[in-house]
Amino acid sequence: MEVPFAEFATGEILHVGAEAEITAGTWFSKPAIQKIRRKRTWRHPDLDYRLTRKRMNSEVKLMIKLHSIGVPVPAIWDVDFENASIVMQKIEGKQLFEILNNGISDAELLKKVGKAIRYLHRNAIIHGDLSTNNILISQNGEPYLIDLGLASMEYELEGYGIDLHVLHEILRASHPSIDDAMKIVIEGYLELDIELGDVIPAPGGKPPSATDVIKRLEQIMKRVRYHGG
Ligand SMILES: Nc1ncnc2c1ncn2[C@@H]1O[C@H](COP(=O)(O)OP(=O)(O)OP(=O)(O)O)[C@@H](O)[C@H]1O
Ligand SMILES: [Mg+2]
């Protein structure tokens, strides 16, 4: 039998979702995870293969680029398109979801989350699925952004506002006891632009300033309140 990932030593299964299965293990003795995209049996196999490969390709490319410029995302160590598998650095820690569910709302941590998102946005990338499951907090309290399968380069203000709006809705719905969580995330988001200065233009244009994104977020929130979407 062919062993597709000889270097990845499989450990326990961490997560079985609709889209992906995540297994912990080691890669050349470093803590790693293997993310295997599940087959969509209802889709024609050729189409499924093409779509899976397209999404993996985009996820991997963006993560390699982001990691190399210091955006906190796990390092990619191996990719196997045939088996729809990615091996990446394991972030030892917890999902932000679990931390907030345990009633821990640490202002310093939420500010760091805002800064991590802003750092991604300053590099002209929107996440596309900013849930509290897709933000991991390492044991030493540093946030990492994961699950970039829907991420993309973006130059329109709206995409940035929507990225934050998704997080805001999730914080409101799943952690209502933690008031002000989003307010602190926004503080961190704005603070990073003050620390780093004006945004540097990316190849396709200039990503919007933090102030403009937050203004747009407020407009989106109003829109949703009045029109329900
Ligand atoms: N690099 C990593 N280090 C540690 N844990 C991880 C890592 N990547 C993923 N996980 C864990 O696995 C979970 C699912 O991973 P991910 O978000 O990438 O998959 P998914 O596309 O959301 O899967 P599904 O949609 O099927 O739920 C994460 O919420 C996290 O708990
Ligand atoms: Mg996820």
Packing angle between helix 157-174 and helix 181-196, nearest 10 degrees? 150
Residue 186 tokens, joined? 């926004």
Choosing from 146, 148, 150, 174 the residue with most ligand 1 atoms within 8 A of its CB, the one to mutate for a pocket test is 146
Structural domain for 156, as ranges: 93-227
My answer on whether 221 and 145 are in the same domain is yes
Domain tally for the chain?
2
The residue from 60, 89, 118 where one domain ends is 89
How far apart are the C-alpha atoms of 164 and 194, rounded to whole Å?
Answer: 19
- CATH number of residue 53's parent domain: 3.30.200.20
Is 1 domain-assigned?
A: no
Residue 3 resides in a domain = no
Q: Which two tokens stand for residue 10?
A: 């499989």
Tell me, in angstroms, the distance from the centre of ligand 1 to residue 80's CA: 17
Q: Are residues 144 and 164 in the same domain?
A: yes
The answer to whether residues 148 and 174 belong to one domain is: yes
Burial of 40 (C-beta count, 10 Å sphere; 0-12/13-18/19+)? middle
pLDDT at residue 5 is higher than 60: no
Per-residue tokens: 131: 């849930």
CA distance 96 to 191: 21
Residue type, 79: V
The pTM for the full model equals 0.93
Q: Is the pLDDT of residue 51 over 90?
A: no
Residue reference for tokens 């597709």: 4
Residue 48: pLDDT above 60?
yes
Answer yes or no: do 83 and 17 share one domain: yes
Do 57 and 103 lie in a common domain? no
Assess whether 51 and 142 both reside in one domain. Answer: no
Question: Across residues 116-126, what is the average pLDDT?
Answer: 97
Summarize pLDDT for 56-112 with one digit per residue, the tens: 999 999 999 999 999 999 999 999 998 999 999 999 999 999 999 888 778 999 999
